[in-house]
Amino acid sequence: MKRVDVARILGEETTTEDLFVSSIGGILDDWWNHRPGGEDNTLSVSILGSVSSTALGLAIALPHRRVVAIETDGSMLMNLGILCTLGAERPPNLTVVVLDNGLYECIGSAPTLTSRHADLRLIAEGAGCLHCMDVSSEDALRASLRSVLSDGELGFVVAKIEPGMEVWPAEKRRYTDGVEDKYRFIRHVERLEGIVVHASSPHV
Please count the CA atoms within 13 angstroms of the CA of 29 that sit on its side-chain side.
Answer: 12
The CA distance from 69 to 55, in Å, is 6
Residues 54, 45 contacting (CB under 8 angstroms): yes
Q: Taking every pair of C-alpha atoms in the chain, what is the biggest distance, in angstroms?
A: 59
Residues 155, 95 contacting (CB under 8 angstroms): yes
Closest CA to 69 of 141, 155, 186: 155
Would you say 16 or 46 has its CB closer to another protein?
46
CB of 17 to another protein, least distance (A): 14
Would you say 63 or 163 has its CB closer to another protein?
63
CB of 186 to another protein, least distance (A): 6
CB of 80 to another protein, least distance (A): 9
Would you say 37 or 178 has its CB closer to another protein?
178
CB of 143 to another protein, least distance (A): 28
Contact set with another protein (CB under 8 A): 21, 43, 45-47, 49-62, 79, 81-82, 84-85, 88-89, 178-179, 181-182, 185-186, 189-190, 193, 195-198, 201
Beta bridge mates, 140 = none
